Amino acid sequence: MRAIVTRPGAGRAWIAELPEPALDADDEVLVQILRVGVCGTDRHVMQRDFSGGRGLPAGDDYLVVGHEAVGRVLRVGPGVRCLRPGDLVVPTVRRGCPTCPACDAGQSDLCFTGNIRERGIVGLHGFLAEQIVDREENLIPVPPELATIGPLVESLCTPEKALRRIGNARAHLPVGGELNGVERALVTGSGPIAQLAVMALRLRGIATWQLARQPQDGPAAELAQRVRATYVSLREVDLDQPQARLGAFDAIVEATGAAEMSVLMIGLLARNGVVDLVGGPSERHPVLIQAASLGGMVGKNLTVLGSVNANAADWQAAVRDLTAMHRTFDGVAADLITHTFGLDDVDRAFDRVPGQIKAVVEVTGD
């Protein structure tokens, strides 16, 4: 079968011919991969130093990339309980460590040891292949209407987890609702995670602002308008006094991954506000933080969270909400997929292209 692989530090991925995977255990499922989304993490994986084989699947000197997939069940082992051939599924990404209580409880997104493996990212082959095998517990059933936009389920898990954690962080407040009194929310960035976060908030009826670099009349602003969110270009904001233009927010999802933006968000929180950082800045440079921002954290009971990956509840919420978005926001979810490539076109699939939100590789299509 054909698959897309990378090697230590190669900086790119290419097509390879690999043996078809076989069912080894009773609870395993053979899945035909239909399409796979491309994400910034894939580019990091291709550039990463896998020295000493660290991060590569045991016994192999290459890694099949890709972790945002949708596929169709081809065959099931005798111990598989619910899935049947023909069912549409989305595979989860992270596989837990053998020793910690979080992984033991099925919450590998909260792993205490960090000895996790992630398909297509670290230690396990990914999904950019014509077929994959995984255990039934790692395959989330999705309705047929998500066949085309299914790769967005994985992207949506991140904002779902962020919203769940923001709700939890406000659970002690004497106010109600799923997000415990969040009336005004802000999302930063204009990539797929940011766009999906805006849509997830709008689905919950929350007044939502989006702040990003794109101009006031660009594609991100248009998407925001289509889900009745308010888009503000960073060019319109005085970074010394951002509240003057934006006001204050009960909840913020920071999805740019820029350290300066993460710090700026603290000054945009309302009393009892919560910001969740999902972008994960990785630059090695110091950022300036105003002492008064830290004072504000105390005086306003603020919470700064960071969150990675997602657990089963977030995957279920992502399937539920992507289906609802597909029905509610006329065509917006599908329009997040701006570029589609074939397996043979893989070089172009990983290029950064202006105006690209989500690129998807059609693996076997149908």
Backbone angles phi and psi of 210, in degrees to 5:
-130, 130
Contact between residue 213 and residue 233 where contact means Cβ atoms under 8 Å apart: yes
CB of 14 to ligand BGC, least distance (A): 21
Nearer to ligand BGC among residue 80 and residue 93 (C-beta): 93
Query: Scanning the structure block, which residue is given the tokens 């309302």?
Result: 270
CB of 257 to ligand BGC, least distance (A): 11
Q: Does 108 bind ligand BGC (CB under 6 A)?
A: no
Binding to ligand BGC (CB under 6 A) within 296-335 occurs at 308-309
CB of 121 to ligand BGC, least distance (A): 5
Q: Does 39 bind ligand BGC (CB under 6 A)?
A: yes
Residue 366's Cβ-count burial label (10 Å; 0-12, 13-18, 19+) is: exposed
Alpha helices in 190-258 (DSSP H): 192-203, 219-226, 242-246
Binding to ligand BGC (CB under 6 A) within 214-243 occurs at none
Q: Does 56 bind ligand BGC (CB under 6 A)?
A: no
Binding residues for ligand BGC, rule CB under 6 A, total 9
Contact between residue 346 and residue 15 where contact means Cβ atoms under 8 Å apart: yes
Nearer to ligand BGC among residue 93 and residue 277 (C-beta): 93
Q: Does 94 bind ligand BGC (CB under 6 A)?
A: yes
Distance CA 6, CA 272 (A): 45
Q: Does 121 bind ligand BGC (CB under 6 A)?
A: yes
CB of 111 to ligand BGC, least distance (A): 10
Nearer to ligand BGC among residue 107 and residue 272 (C-beta): 107
Contact between residue 300 and residue 271 where contact means Cβ atoms under 8 Å apart: yes
CB of 324 to ligand BGC, least distance (A): 21
Nearer to ligand BGC among residue 94 and residue 164 (C-beta): 94
Q: Does 93 bind ligand BGC (CB under 6 A)?
A: yes
Q: Does 28 bind ligand BGC (CB under 6 A)?
A: no
Category of 292 on φ-ψ map: left (φ > 0), alpha (ψ -120 to 50) or beta: alpha
Contact between residue 87 and residue 65 where contact means Cβ atoms under 8 Å apart: no
Nearer to ligand BGC among residue 180 and residue 190 (C-beta): 190
Nearer to ligand BGC among residue 117 and residue 226 (C-beta): 117
CB of 308 to ligand BGC, least distance (A): 5
CB of 193 to ligand BGC, least distance (A): 8
Pairing of strands 14-17, 358-362: unpaired
Distance CA 121, CA 118 (A): 5
Cα dihedral sign, 191-197-200-206:
negative
Contact between residue 210 and residue 229 where contact means Cβ atoms under 8 Å apart: yes
Q: Does 146 bind ligand BGC (CB under 6 A)?
A: no
Distance CA 343, CA 4 (A): 8
Nearer to ligand BGC among residue 154 and residue 276 (C-beta): 154
Contact between residue 299 and residue 270 where contact means Cβ atoms under 8 Å apart: no
Contact between residue 152 and residue 92 where contact means Cβ atoms under 8 Å apart: no
Binding pattern for the stretch 158-197 against ligand BGC, x by CB under 6 A and - elsewhere:
----------------------------------------
Name the nearest CA neighbour of 57 among 18, 109, 111, 108: 18
Q: Does 48 bind ligand BGC (CB under 6 A)?
A: no
Name the nearest CA neighbour of 352 among 128, 5, 40: 40
Determine which residue in the list 13, 76, 118, 184 makes contact with ligand BGC, applying CB under 6 A. 118
Which residues make up the interface to ligand BGC (CB under 6 A)?
A: 39, 41, 93-94, 118, 121, 154, 308-309
